[in-house]
Amino acid sequence: MTTKSSLLKVILLGDGGVGKSSLMNRYVSSKFDSHLFHTIGVEFLNRELEVDGHTVTLQIWDTAGQERFRSLRTPFYRGSDCCLLTFSVDDNQSFLNLNNWKKEFAYYADVRDPEKFPFVVLGNKVDVTEHQVPMEEAQRWCQENGGYPYFETSAKDATNVSAAFEEAVRRVLSSEDRTEHLLPTDTVDLQMMMVTLQCSAVISPHCQDMKMKLLHRCFLKNNNNNNKHKTVNHIDHRKYFTREGYKNHYTGFIKHLT
């Protein structure tokens, strides 16, 4: 008999450098890499888990936090079941920017009632010695903005990482507005780590450096022999490149990657 699990999409938002990619990788692969590339656009990984008797496939989306990548990340907000607002406890500005991230998400995700949407707040890098954001201040912000759960996390030593993602699942499952998406587990390889690098719009011919960075990252992922999980890379040339650039320069290389 085919069993089914719910597919839940959660998205990590926050300033660049607060540790969103590290949190995702720690939770999915139980690894920490202090030399990760900055995310360009978006990436996602899948993990299956059971929470309170419910089997779910958690699709975790990591986004680029830099302002210059806004047009690349915002189209992927739609369809999110939960948003993890993330800051670094040693960076007060990243905490102050939570309001902006919440507003940006609510606008581009077309959230009908932001006050009822399941947000979870993460104060990452709790392992560092000097904190600029006291726990009490972060908890107060959460209470004043909708009573959101707050977790102080460390991707480096795994503090509260699993607890935070499991709470995100609980928040989604208890949401009255949730639309359930079911996956038959006999047709989905849940051991697969799916990595995507996608853009929402054509990158102009002047952004040669960004194009090459995207290609370089995909090439590294595609040739990482030490990764025990299967890696899937996807490039949509209609979104990444100008038509002329694709035809003249990138056809062979993209075919190699995909």
**Residue 112 resides in a domain:** yes
Q: What would the mean pLDDT of 15-38 be, rounded to a whole number?
A: 86
Residue 66: pLDDT band by 50, 70, 90 thresholds? confident
**Residue 220 resides in a domain:** yes
Residue 175: pLDDT band by 50, 70, 90 thresholds? confident
Q: Which of 82, 77, 46 is nearest to 63 (CA)?
A: 77
Same-domain check for residues 162 and 207: no
Concatenated DSSP letters of 125-184: -TTSS--SS-HHHHHHHHHHTT---EEE-BTTTTBTHHHHHHHHHHHHHT-TTPPP-EEE
Q: How far apart are CA 217 and CA 198, in angstroms?
A: 12
**Residue 10 resides in a domain:** yes
Per-residue pLDDT tens digits for 204-215: 333 444 444 454
Q: Give the DSSP letter of residue 38.
A: P
Provide the whole-model pTM: 0.69
pLDDT of the residue at 197: 36
Same-domain check for residues 97 and 222: no
Whole-Å CA distances, 21 to 3, 56, 221: 31, 21, 15
Residue 114: pLDDT band by 50, 70, 90 thresholds? confident
Q: What would the mean pLDDT of 78-100 be, rounded to a whole number?
A: 97
Q: How far apart are CA 124 and CA 20, in angstroms?
A: 8
**Residue 190 resides in a domain:** no
The DSSP bridge partners found for residue 45 are 60
pLDDT, greater one: 245 or 69: 69
Same-domain check for residues 10 and 85: yes
Would you give the end-to-end CA distance of the chain in angstroms? 34
Q: Range of 132's domain? A: 4-183
The DSSP bridge partners found for residue 5 are 183
Q: How far apart are CA 170 and CA 164, in angstroms?
A: 10
| Cβ(47)–Cβ(58) below 8 Å | yes
Same-domain check for residues 109 and 202: no
Residue 85: pLDDT band by 50, 70, 90 thresholds? very high
Q: What would the mean pLDDT of 89-114 be, rounded to a whole number?
A: 95
pLDDT of the residue at 72: 75
Q: Which of 37-46, 70-79, 146-155 has the lowest mean pLDDT?
A: 37-46
Q: How far apart are CA 95 and CA 81, in angstroms?
A: 22
Query: 150, 183, 216 — which closes off a domain?
Result: 183
pLDDT, greater one: 16 or 137: 137
**Residue 247 resides in a domain:** yes
Helix (H) or strand (E) holding 238: helix 237-240
Using the predicted structure, report yes or no on whether residue 5 has a pLDDT greater than 90: no
